[in-house]
Amino acid sequence: MDIAVIGSNMVDLITYTNQMPKAGETLEAPDFAIGCGGKGANQAVAAAKMGGSVMMVSKVGDDLFAPNTVANLKQQGVDTQFVTTAPGTSSGVAPIFVDDQSQNRILIIKGANQQLKPADIDEAAEGLKACQLIILQLEIPLETVYYAIDFARQHDIKVILNPAPAVANLDIDYACKCDFFMPNETELEILTGMPVGTDDEVIRAGQTLLKRGLKNLIITLGARGSLWMAGDTLHQVAPTSVKAVDTSGAGDAFIGCFAHTLVKTGDIPTAMAQASAYAACSVTGRGTQRSYPDAETFQRFLNLN
């Protein structure tokens, strides 16, 4: 395998609404969909759809959602040997509300994802050792994230840490052990306690993390593109202009494509440019994984943009 994703899977319960209800109010919504999601699974699927050789270490629940989650990962080209069941536990679910401006609001119930433990990394050790890159997020226990980072350092495997959803008590010393730290602007604000409303504010907030010892900080900024900061390096990638339909999972699309392109080319600016365009392509369709293009569809998108 080229890439290992150690992280979450979720069942997305997506409601499309023209208006968010007020407290105590009931409104009719025009559409609903069920999809496969979770930050870890999304990133794995994006990398696999781009042609990457991807394995996943994850937990599913002991319920009706689990078989479909595993079957979906296999169908998308992700190796599921180390996706195991947590007995007596529900699968993770994510109610997602998408408004008429294509902005999303998400709740997550971690379920079985909370049961992904360091022992699961030990079980997958031989497969992980053969990978070039490990991707991590924060929808699994922090102890497992930290254990995975130490495992990667021990075996000289590059690590991307996506601090999502952001937690204020994240150990930045562990983040500094990673090769890439990849928050969005909201996560950057939570982690630093600093405003991020403008590019200058984003840079100042990023600099406070770099001073702590981060190697490469890549900040995704939605419609404002993305920014790479490392030492004296400051490299910004402009967004690809599209008509957004649903922004759910766009950050995960970025990370999955970035990881695949980085393994393939070794070039960070190239990986960022590809990832930015891939994320833009993803928001032109509904849902998370189902909106991610395969390599051929993505190439057609690039030719038109």
Binding residue ranges for ATP: 184, 220-225, 251-252
Report residue 19 CA to chain centroid gap.
Answer: 27
Half-sphere exposure of 265 (CA within 13 A, CB side): 15
Please say whether the beta carbons of 268 and 228 come within 8 A: yes
Cite the annotated binding site for substrate by residue number. Answer: 10-12, 38-42, 139, 252
171 is catalytic: no
Q: H or E element: which one contains 37?
A: strand 31-37
Binding residues: 10-12, 38-42, 139, 184, 220-225, 246, 248, 251-252, 282, 285, 287, 291
- Rounded Cα distance between 129 and 26, Å, is 51
CB 11 within 8 A of CB 94: yes
Give the residue ranges of the annotated binding site for K(+). Answer: 246, 248, 282, 285, 287, 291
Between the two ends of the chain, the Cα-to-Cα distance in Å is 31
Angle, vertex CA 8, rays to CA 228 and CA 252, nearest 5: 35
Q: Which two tokens stand for residue 147?
A: 């254990």
| Helix, strand, coil fractions of the chain, as percent rounded to 5 | 40, 20, 40
Active-site annotation holder among 62, 200, 252, 294: 252
The answer to whether the CB of 158 falls within 8 A of the CB of 133 is yes
Active site residues: 252
